[in-house]
Structure 1
Amino acid sequence: MDILPIVERIGEAPSNALFGLITGVVFGVAAQKSRFCLRAATVEFARRMLDSSVAVWLLCFSTALVWVQGASLLGLMRPEDARMMAVTGSWSGAIIGGLIFGAGMVLARGCSGRLLVLAATGNLRSVVSGMIFAVVAQMSLHGWLAPTRDWLARLWMTGGGTNVNLLTALNLPDWGGLALGVVCAVLALLIARKAELGAKRLVFGSGVGFAVALGWVLTYNLSQVAFDPITVTSATFTGPSANTLMFFLIPDPVLEFDIGLVPGVVIGAFAASYLSREFRWQGFEGEAMMRRSMTGAVLMGFGGMLAGGCAIGAGVTGGSIFVGTAWVALICMWIGAIVTDALVDQRKGQPATV
């Protein structure tokens, strides 16, 4: 992939932000049209329903595996160069943070990525929850909650100064990740067929996974031609939400992938909803729901930062390159969401769609 002409024309930092914007637009359009949401998938699973939300999530996850692992085999990216693989990971952070994030996304009625997409379609509940999520994420990164996050994360760390590559740890062949992606894709299509899911939603669901692969490939190739160090990363919303918030609050902000990603998602989701006439203003459904959503946003902000990523960042982006702590965080997000749905919503007789 020859991106040098772009870099030479507009510069390294603007190119990084541009690639984030492109990744975000693709993600926003695909997520809005497919109604991609880990929270919805976990609730369906908790109620022993393998329906459309499970199919869309699994298709997104499998598509990310196939595209990312395929790109790795073709030399278009190197997972070991990704920041989340190259730095020390936290098993305790993944476990505790994943459980907290899973509980929070059920209470907030959507993961952080889903809230961002909904906010762009006129959902004011998601606007408020998303802002709280970003503020708490920033507090967990550099503010009052940072010491607590750091203490929990240091309880159990990965060894060797890097994270764990599960493919290497399990002695799997280089094509093992790609094979697993294909198996998951077949399973997703079987569930989609049973749920009578339309081809359009399946295509857009796979587009979410493609956006993750696109981000990896673009930032990796930029890192190969840039003079200054470039973080190899892709779609995630905990750190980027906090960074985007601070971008507009501090003097002399720095352009980077994160700064383009979040606005890109908003632009993509808004355009998709507006052109399909699905944009409409929505508010809170009462005081109790407002308290619940705000509580969920707080839990997601802290939990996502502790876990090393949100439902997208750890669950799909980190999972697609087989980062050990990302897979643990994803599993714990499912567990936290399933338990919270059982204790809160199912006990009150709330339907799965709420």
Structure 2
Amino acid sequence: MPEFFEQFTSEEVALFLGLVTGLIFGAFAQQSRFCLRAACIEFWRNKPGAKFSIWLFTFSTALILTQLLMLNGNLEKSSIRQLVTTGSMSGAILGGTLFGIGMVMARGCASRLLVLSATGNLRALVAGLVVTIVSQAALRGILSPARSEASSWWLVEGSSRDLSMYLPEYGAIAMGVLLFIAAIYLAIKNRTKGYYQFGAVVVGGSIALGWGLTSWHAANSFDIIAVKSVSFTGPSADTLMALINEPEFPFSFDIGIVLGVFAGSFLASWLTKEFVIQTFTEQTGLTRYLVGAALMGFGGMLAGGCAVGAGVTGGAVMALTAWVALFFMWLSAGITDRVLDYRRETA
């Protein structure tokens, strides 16, 4: 296999690996209805059901398989940025909070918006573009000073970011197994379709696949390769800016992820006849989507990733800031739902 890839540049290989990972994630995220916002709403309304179980299947699978990669030496902790570089706790707290508020307002997190966009949902497409533009502004544009300032309020050294250090041996895997069992229990209790359960497991597997493939690429390339997996805020911003600013489309794992997820979701929805054009209506509104998307764009860059990039991908390697960001996404999403939707929908 390494000999085969020697005929391609590192950028071409990275793009291919990203496309493969993204295609799997996109197709099965679309089919399983994987969505953090939906899971949060079920949880905070004291009705943990099929959507919550689907999220648990994805998260627990990603956690178990990624930890097994690390245990077997296929993924070195020293190569994982989230575990070796200085992180921002203030960014995780504030960014996670803003992201959680935004995903409830926009009716989907960054990954869900990309998946839905490929199924003909123009509301998700518009909101996703706003997320991408604001993410770019927070990364390198007019909002970057505010992001940098908020990120500097509370820093944590890389040596303290590995949560597995505070757990017994195999503690992270045991945690993943318990969450997987909880997912099975909820799926059986709520008669969740087996196909949805399978799809959610594959989505979680794609997270581990991304870690494994980039780790393999880094070990077999003469170039410096970043070891990473699925994320959306930064990669989506890079993809959009490449389309706008670059005369030649650059190749990278991140861009492959975005293109692959879109293509995978489109193909899945087309083959299952679920592709339907959906637009804004008087009932859906527009302002709510735009405000929510803007909060997600800034919050995602501040938190170091979106609900998938920080929450699942970072959580799978037991990065402290990822777990903190995920916690505040859940908390703020629950509060936002209670304020904006719960009373109105249950009145």
TM-score strictly above 0.5: yes
* 1:252-292 CA-partner distances (Å, limit 9, x unpaired): 55321111000100110011000000101000122862110
1:152, 1:290 → 2: CA distance?
Answer: 29
For residues 37-76 of structure 1, give each alpha carbon's deviation from its aligned partner in whole angstroms, at most 9, with x where no partner exists: 0000001111110111100000100000111111111222
Question: Following TM superposition, by how much is the alpha carbon of 1:247 offset from its aligned partner in structure 2, in angstroms?
Answer: 1.4
Distance in 1 (alpha carbons) for counterparts of 2:255 and 2:160:
25
Q: 5+ unaligned residues in a row in structure 1: which ranges?
A: none
Aligned twin of 1:331: 327
Do the aligned partners of 1:140 and 1:149 also contact (CA within 8 Å) in 2? yes
Which amino acid is the alignment partner of residue 325 of structure 1? T
TM-score normalised according to structure 1 size: 0.95
For 1:338, the aligned partner's letter is: G
Shift of 1:29: 0.8
1:226-237 to structure 2, matched below 5 A, reads 226-237=221-232
Query: SS at the partner of 2:7?
Result: helix
The one-letter code of the counterpart of 1:262 is V
Name 1:286's counterpart in structure 2.
282
Is 1:317 the counterpart of 2:313 in the alignment? Answer: yes
Pair 1:346 & 2:347 matched: no
Q: For residues 1-354 of structure 1, what are the structure 2 equivalents within 5 Å?
A: 3-159=1-157, 161=158, 164-168=161-165, 170-173=166-169, 175-251=170-246, 254-286=250-282, 289-349=285-345
What percent identity do the matched residue pairs reach? 44
Aligned partner letter, 1:36: F
Per-residue CA shift, 1:159-200, capped at 9, x if unaligned?
2x55610011x1421x22111111110010001111101111
Q: 1:19 to 1:96 in 2, by over 3 A?
A: same
What are structure 2's unaligned runs of at least 5 residues?
none
SS of alignment partner, residue 344 of structure 1: helix
After TM superposition, the score normalised by the length of structure 2 is 0.97
Work out whether residues 34 and 204 of structure 1, in 8 Å CA contact, stay in contact via their aligned partners in 2. yes
1:184-235 deviations in Å (ceiling 9; x for gaps): 1001000111110111110001111001000000000101111121110000
Deviation at 1:77, TM superposition (A): 1.1
The root-mean-square deviation of aligned C-alpha atoms, in Å, is 1.4
1:7 to partner: Cα distance: 2.5
Q: SS at 1:271's partner residue?
A: helix
SS in 2 for 1:28: helix
Q: Distance in 2 between matches of 1:69 and 1:108?
A: 33
Q: Aligned pairs, how many? A: 346
Q: What is the SS of the residue equivalent to 1:106?
A: helix
1:293–1:163 Cα change, 3 Å:
farther
Q: Tell me the amino acid that sits aligned with residue 308 of structure 2.
A: I
Report if aligned partners of 2:82, 2:161 keep a CA contact under 8 Å in 1: no
